Amino acid sequence: MNSREIFLRVLNFEKSKRTLKWEFGFWGGTINRWKNEGYSEKFIFERDILYGEFINGPGIQFPMPSYDDEVLFAKDLSIKFNFDKGPSPVPFNWFYYPRFEKKVLEKTKDKVKYIGPDGITRIAFNDERSMPLWVDHPIKSEDDWERIKFERLNLNDFWKRFTVEDPKSTLNKLRNRDFPQILYGSPIGFFGILRFMIGEEKLYFWYYDKPQLIKKILEYLCEFWINIAEELTFYTDFDYGRFFEDMAYNKGSLISPAIFNEFMLPYYKKLIDFAKSKGVKHFIVDSDGFVEDIIPLFIECGITGLLPFEIRAGNDIEKIRKNFPGFQILGGIDKTALENKKTIDIELEKVRRMIALGGYIPYVDHAIPPNISWENFSYYREKLNDIIDNQKVL
């Protein structure tokens, strides 16, 4: 079976000879460390990679046409460890078009202040060794929203939003794909997108001070994305809907259930109901942090699964499987367990049990950090591959 076929069998909780071989991603510094520890690349990256840069694995969508064309994929590692093909969106920009011009505002020996293609002004270390500081956002008022909606969030140039030269031919060919195809995709979501556009602190105030403006934005985006999906589903089909939120930290959700139900639930239901009318059955949210408490809220929306289930944030994927037996779980391998072989062995026994239950695709619960050695990663990945090859989904 190909990657798409395995993906659908696993998410349907059907019997399968195996689950998928995916990995979420890697720090650039991790890969550079491994080059000094015996890892030799056959397929070299087309540019130098930064220490803190996120290098995509097949467990996360690639490419990212709505974000940034500079995102890299770990092709060599995927070949080396025989990874399955990962999920991909159609080559279409669902967000700002045209994107904002990337512009460096200030630069020192250690840091850079710049405007990204998403219009966010950031201050970051030159090697991206930690999360950047977000200091400004495109929407500061209702007038800003109206202007950006008019200039960058319209479908006047629908076909120009594609990142390929012959989009109709590409779409038709995608019907015969051998990988899972994403409808919607990052950065689509009803909390995460507002953080990008407005900024987190201002957003929290606006939920209370300007609720009608927030709803006005969300209603527009919801209809905007449905209109795009209506056109795309005329040309090709989709395997699952994917959403980006990052709406939790290590203690739980960043917003209350009341805010979720007022500002997220109705729009998720609308997007998901439309997708269901086109034959899409699975809907997965990407959120870091402790997510166990928000699973019931997402289930009410029609969400069927989550990723990547950070273990150090307190998530317990076996407990989640027991409490929500039909909920899909992607990820959930503690990255810190890769620090030594004994903890790797313990962690992978959990994985073996989870695979048998169905609805589970195992990989590390975020990008693999630079404190993980090449020896340990190779040990972990080869052992996990062996478990996947020999543990049927029952």
Tokens coding 163: 């990142």
Tokens coding 374: 């090449």
pLDDT exceeds 90 at position 69: no
| 204-244 per-position pLDDT tens digit | 999 999 999 999 999 999 999 999 999 999 999 999 999 99
Tell me the pLDDT of the chain averaged across its residues: 97
| 101-139 per-position pLDDT tens digit | 999 999 999 999 999 999 999 999 999 999 999 999 999
Tokens coding 215: 């709803």
The pLDDT of 140-159, averaged and rounded, is 97
| 3-16 per-position pLDDT tens digit | 999 999 999 999 99
Provide the pLDDT confidence category of residue 68 given band limits of 50, 70 and 90: confident
| 92-108 per-position pLDDT tens digit | 999 999 999 999 999 99
pLDDT at 226: 98
Contacts for 258-267: CB closer than 8 Å, 24+ residues apart:
259/207, 260/294, 260/297, 261/297, 262/211, 263/190, 263/191, 263/207, 263/211, 263/214, 263/215, 263/218, 264/190, 264/191, 264/297, 264/301, 265/297, 265/300, 265/301, 267/190, 267/218, 267/219, 267/221, 267/222
pLDDT exceeds 90 at position 316: yes
A 10 A CB-CB count for 103 gives 11
Cα distance between residue 91 and residue 351, in whole Å: 33
Cα distance between residue 260 and residue 301, in whole Å: 10
What pTM did the predictor assign? Answer: 0.97
pLDDT at 248: 97
pLDDT exceeds 90 at position 384: yes
pLDDT at 157: 93
Q: Could you tell me the domains of the chain?
A: 3-100+138-390 (3.20.20.210), 101-137 (no CATH)
Segments of 5-118 assigned E as strands: 25-27, 54-56, 88-89, 103-107, 111-115
Find out whether 205 and 211 touch, Cβ atoms under 8 Å.
no
pLDDT at 387: 98
| 17-43 per-position pLDDT tens digit | 999 999 999 999 999 999 999 999 999
pLDDT at 67: 87
The pLDDT of 70-84, averaged and rounded, is 97
Task: Give helix then strand counts, H and E, for the chain.
Answer: 14, 15
pLDDT at 121: 98
The pLDDT of 249-259, averaged and rounded, is 96
